[in-house]
Chain A
Amino acid sequence: MKIGFYPGCSLTGSSREYNESLLAIAKEAGVELCEIKDWNCCGATAAHNLNKELSLSLPARNLALAEFEGMDELVVPCAACFNRLVMTQHELSEKEDLRKLISEKLQMPLRNGIKIYNVLQFLEKHIVPRLDQLVKSPLTFDVACYYGCLLVRPQQVMKSERFEDPMTMDVIMQKLGANAIDWPFKTECCGAGFSVSKTEIVGELSGKIVRNATDRGAKAIVVACPMCHSNLDMRRPAIDNYLNMKMDIPVIYITQAIALAMGLTPTQAGIQRHFVPVNLTVNR
């Protein structure tokens, strides 16, 4: 089965282990992901903060390219890219004149009808049904599933039913054998795009998340967003500084957790690329 794939910039750089682990588990499950040819950056926070038109035209170019290649379904693993693509599709489907304007600007047709999946929706549809056969090394530890903002909000557009207490990632982790703990920071903001410009805010917001997960006994935080991952993992010095103590809880992508449970090696899952060392027991 072939499905359209928009990796986004982070997955080619600072979160390449997310890309590696996603492609590895898709291969195990016999799902082929076809990268959109000549895709561009979605514009992220920067575009919608400074320029409305760019915040629509940048994501729309990718949607138009995917349509041109005949894709009906598009997987967008980065939660931030996913949010921008879905918000653009939503706005352009509500405002016909705006869709025409952007389509003219792109000099490309834009039907705007492609189905966009985030990583959890993709996993639920294509990987979870095959997990019974594919899980070879069940996970045996407690995890805190952290969703962040952009997968669930705004619920009016993201169509998320439990936007204050989502469960999709928890259910997947349980299927892998892990115990997903109940905790109150699932959808609190990590500090998002302030990683470089206001690192101390990231230290505080991410610090509260890391402390609560640790206090409640989780052995790992599981994420589905490159921004959440880099803030919780790479910004650990700012977090430790805010909390005034050294926190050692690792942060893994949901796709890495699945890869480990499928019996792939930690290197195949890209675990060695993390800043906070990952020492988790997997039943082999």
Chain B
Amino acid sequence: MDKEDLSFQVSQATGVNVRECYQCGKCTGGCPVGERMDLRPSVIMRMLQSGDAASEEEILRSNSIWLCLTCETCYSRCPMELDIPKVFDYLREKSYAEGKVNSDAHDIVAFHKSFLNAVERNGRLHEMSLVLDYKIHTGNLFQDVLLAPEMFSKGKLHILPERIKDRKGFARLFKDQFKKRKS
């Protein structure tokens, strides 16, 4: 394994040795979103084994890593107990940091980022702030507009956020976390 290889970085970061995969395909067979992926989980494992730079670039630009729901079915059924969701976490963070997010996944990533923005602001998630932040960043202004009044009437939506007290200590956790990102 070459130190430049993505598979080497994956094993350093996650402890998963992709070479142990023998392509049984159970991960792909059980994946609830496998049919929607451009590269299915077992294919990604095979491409990582190849050490081919073009394949590695294709993985980081795939929709698959973002469509993964982290349901952990692949990991639980893998005969080699390879933690594929953990590998995907690493690939997602890298794809995001290097500005290589697949265009199918922009809404998914925007949601994750809006989520973390909302948490950073108050320490706890304020669902209304999350949805507003997401709408502004994606332009999906009219999505679910009928849901909000009903949630409100059922007592499920708060107008004002709950805030934690130790804001300063909490802010430290977020400091410099997304600094190096290319956009």
Contacts and interface: CB of A to CB of B under 8 A. Distances in A.
B112 A41 contact: no
B81 interface: yes
Given A39-B164, A234-B147, A153 B108 contact: no
A189 to B, nearest CB: 4
A154 to B, nearest CB: 5
Contacts of B108: 194, 197-198
B183 interface: no
B139 interface: no
A153 B124 contact: no
Given A54-B177, A58-B173, A196 B131 contact: yes
Interface stretch (B20-28, B54-62, B115-123): B115-123
Interface stretch (B2-10, B45-53, B153-161): B153-161
Contacts of A15: 156
Interface in A249-273: 272-273
A13 B69 contact: no
Interface string A135-174: 0000000000000011011111000000110000000000
A54 B134 CA distance: 20
Interface stretch (A22-30, A45-53, A118-126, A212-220): A45-53
Contacts of A153: 71-73, 75-76
Contacts of B19: none
A48 B33 contact: no
A248 interface: no
Contact of B174 (A10, A54, A156, A192): A54
A77 interface: no
Nearest to B144: A196
Contacts of B172: 105, 107
Contacts of A193: 69, 111
A176 interface: no
Contacts of B13: 52
Interface string B83-120: 10100011011001000000000011111110110010
A82 to B, nearest CB: 13
Contacts of A47: 116
For chain A, the bracket of interface size reads: 35 or more
A43 B116 CA distance: 7
Nearest to B32: A189
Nearest to B172: A105
Interface string A192-208: 11101111010001000
B70 interface: yes
A225 interface: no
Given A61-B173, A194-B108, A188 B32 contact: yes
Contacts of A52: 13, 89-90, 93
B165 A38 contact: yes
A112 interface: no
Given A40-B164, A45-B70, A46-B111, A51 B177 contact: yes
A274 B156 CA distance: 10
Given A12-B162, A40-B164, A41-B124, A154 B75 contact: yes
Interface string A1-41: 00000000110111110000000000000000000001111
Contacts of A50: 92-93, 96, 109, 112-113, 116, 178
